[in-house]
Copies of this chain bind each other. A is one copy, B any other.
Amino acid sequence: MPSLAVVVTARPSYARLRSLILALQASINVRLVVAGSALLERYGAVVDLIEADCGPVAWKAYTGVEGETLETSGRSTGLLMADCATAFRALQPDAVLVHADRHEVLGAAAAARMLELPLIHTQGGERTGSVDDRIRDAITQLADYHLVSTPAAKARIRQMRGHDAIVTGCPSLDVARSAATLPAVDVTRLPGDGRALKASEPFLVVLQHPTTDHAAAAHDEMATTLEAVAQVGIPAVVLWPGDEAGMAGASKAIRERRRNFRTMRNLPPETFLRLLTQSVGIVGNSSVGIRECSYLGVPAVNIGDRQANRERAGNVVDVPVWDVGAIQQAIEAHLWHGPALPSQLYGDGRSGPRMAAAVRQILGGL
């Protein structure tokens, strides 16, 4: 049975790789390499969830360096590269699969390249307009095979590399598709702290990452968004930021206002997507607003340039800079028109099996 090392470094990566991994396990010996925040208790010990879903992980790479600075991000990525070199030598996979554009993924990809292992990269060729583009494109240069979400991504990879990527659609929509079939979330019993929601009232969801290019401003960005939401006067569910530069600042802004909102962390991905379908819209700068919400028809107010160049469907209104009035206005415009039209820009919710088939074919041809 051919073997494939799959590197998982964070909760959202796992959400997008889960259906692929499960589809592969019947015919491929999948060796999971888990690293980064996916190993940490304070980000919900995603590794335990992974082991419950997929069986024992083959390698745990504790390579995150404490400090939440640019230096420690760089050190973490370097140490992960070093450890992946050892993991790949010890596990001897026939190929390596890495996902998307987190900085630590560059370390894993470079290690696969240096061990001369065939490298499969998912979700390359996209554009967000942030520094992530540079990391993502560097990984594209290191990869041998590319499973991409959209024809536009395929075209960009052809431009860069001169060969063809395989369009499989975005696997995040697989989760969205199955989430849409779940029973509604009881919003009166959401976990977390702060104001409880009432059963029937309309609510917003706020999910905003510190922008990696301007970490120091993370506090003000979050404070501005929360102020705009407060002005609109609709209750909101606010998600704590994850493990990234600027987290401390953004968390502080939430803490300062947390009695006004429902604050949460770590809702299971499907539950979170189901919750979004019950909301009147999402506010922030997460790719969820652009991607899953396009498929689900959930209105999104997207702030700043973190998703600047990402392709958009009609559910998105952009607010280019953090400004209380502009954000408030965008939210109110959405409230006025109600739910958006669902779109298949990023796929049809059946990407996992399509990706698995592509991977099987790649491994079969090595």
Contacts and interface: CB of A to CB of B under 8 A. Distances in A.
B86 A71 contact: yes
A357 interface: no
Contacts of A134: 113, 141-142
A83 interface: yes
A64 B62 contact: no
Nearest to A119: B134
Given A66-B62, A114-B73, A41 B106 contact: no
Copies of this protein in the assembly total: 4
A42 interface: yes
Interface residues of A, number: 56
A88 B75 CA distance: 11
A213 to B, nearest CB: 7
B67 A65 contact: no
Contacts of A301: none
Contacts of A79: 78-79, 82
Contacts of A86: 62, 71, 75
B82 A75 contact: yes
A138 B142 CA distance: 6
Given A41-B68, A62-B75, A77-B81, A213 B141 contact: no
A139 B84 CA distance: 20
The 5 closest A-B pairs by CB, nearest first: A74-B85, A78-B81, A78-B82, A64-B66, A74-B114
